[in-house]
Amino acid sequence: MTLLLAPMEGLLDYTLRDILTRVGGIDRCVSEFIRVTGTLLPDRAFVRVMPELLNGGRTPAGVPVRGQLMGSDAVCLAENAAKLAALGPAGIDLNFGCPAKVVNRHGGGAALLQDPPLLHSIMSAVSRAVPASMPVSAKMRLGFNDASRALECAQALHSGGAQELVVHARTRADGYRPPAYWERIQEIREALPIPVVANGEIWDVADAQRCREASGCHMLMLGRGMVSDPGLALAIASPGRVVSWPELLPLMQVFWQLVGNHVVPRHRAGRLKQWLNYLRRRHPEAQAAYTALRTVNDPHEMESRLQQMAAQP
């Protein structure tokens, strides 16, 4: 069983990657997308999204991170992939799954699933541009409006050089509405000679088991489920292992400290409340904390409240 941590724009950034990989159970991460729109990005643009590049391409806990690029221009993506590869990530990943309307309107993310030949061209250009030793992978959805071309898209990416493929088991039209159609991944997994990773709607250990059975995949990517339950990967890898609320409280304080290093004061409280909002799905204590902190926006008051929470028996 290999467990990957998903990229989630606006939520699962390098700060949360740091915290969640400290908990354990995650084998590899993928950064949020680095948007490529016609220019060769400076090094700082890559490092801003993926500071792990300054740490050998790994989180502080030592978990490798692949840098994800998103765009629709094969030549420009290839040039930027070569530049990113020189900075030492654990691999290069390409985004063909983002469902955001603003991204899709500009021909990026899941919109590319309407054009399998372009998928092939992009993957081929990027694969040729980076060193042979640099792993290149991709993430896709089952399709744009429907899943009729899912296998065609997957084959186009493989033939273009993808060495691994993550499949989010919903179309762009499905968004994030349940269910995830894990059984549709099985056809892709059986058709490709490369590792295929199942992703989508894995909230607990039972979901992970059902996903494995339906897709046949032994590699899973965890996203919102891991944000809601930071112990999910450990529980999947070691059944019976539970990360308790008292174990999370010190990590929440570290998260708050890290947020303070790069988020402007007026937005810091919002980042913590965003995570608490997810945590309350799994931890009743998070519901009480969220209710108590919902109206707190002053960073100094928030820090004081966190210290009080940690001091409680």
153 catalytic? Reply is: no
Measured over the CA atoms of residue 69, residue 73, residue 76 and residue 81, the dihedral's sign is positive
**For 245-311, which CATH superfamily applies?**
Dihydrouridine synthase, C-terminal recognition domain (1.20.225.30)
The number of helix segments (H) and strand segments (E) in the chain equals 14, 8
Q: What's the rounded Cα separation, in Å, for the pair 123 and 312?
A: 52
Exposure of 242 in the CB half-sphere (CA atoms within 13 A): 6
Amino acid 240: pLDDT: 85
Considering 29, 76, 98, 217, which one is annotated as catalytic? 98
Q: What's the rounded Cα separation, in Å, for the pair 311 and 307?
A: 6
Amino acid 3: pLDDT: 98
What are 176-229's pLDDT values in tens digits?
999 999 999 999 999 999 999 999 999 999 999 999 999 999 999 999 999 999
- In 3D space, the residue among 131, 126, 46 whose CA is nearest the CA of residue 87 turns out to be 46
What are 99-116's pLDDT values in tens digits?
888 888 878 999 999 999
Max Cα-Cα span within the chain: 60
Exposure of 169 in the CB half-sphere (CA atoms within 13 A): 28
Residue % of the chain over a pLDDT of 70: 100
What are 109-143's pLDDT values in tens digits?
999 999 999 999 999 999 999 999 999 999 999 99
Residue % of the chain over a pLDDT of 90: 91
| Residues 284-306, mean pLDDT to the nearest whole number | 93
The phi and psi torsions of 195 (rounded to 5 degrees) equal -60, 135
**Confidence class for position 32, pLDDT limits 50, 70, 90:** very high
Q: What's the rounded Cα separation, in Å, for the pair 151 and 94?
A: 17
**Where are the chain's structural domains?**
2-237, 245-311
Amino acid 123: pLDDT: 98
Q: What's the rounded Cα separation, in Å, for the pair 245 and 98?
A: 32
Q: Is the pLDDT of residue 91 over 90?
A: yes
Residues in the chain: 313
Q: Is the pLDDT of residue 2 over 90?
A: yes
Tokens of 158: 């493989």
Q: Is the pLDDT of residue 313 over 80?
A: no
Q: What's the rounded Cα separation, in Å, for the pair 194 and 164?
A: 6
Q: Is the pLDDT of residue 57 over 80?
A: yes
Amino acid 274: pLDDT: 96
Please give the mean pLDDT across all residues of the chain. 96
* Cis-peptide, bond into residue 178, ω within 30° of zero: no
Distance of CA 203 to the CA centre of its chain: 14
| Residues 253-264, mean pLDDT to the nearest whole number | 94
Q: Which CATH class is domain 2-237?
A: alpha beta
Measured over the CA atoms of residue 54, residue 59, residue 63 and residue 69, the dihedral's sign is negative
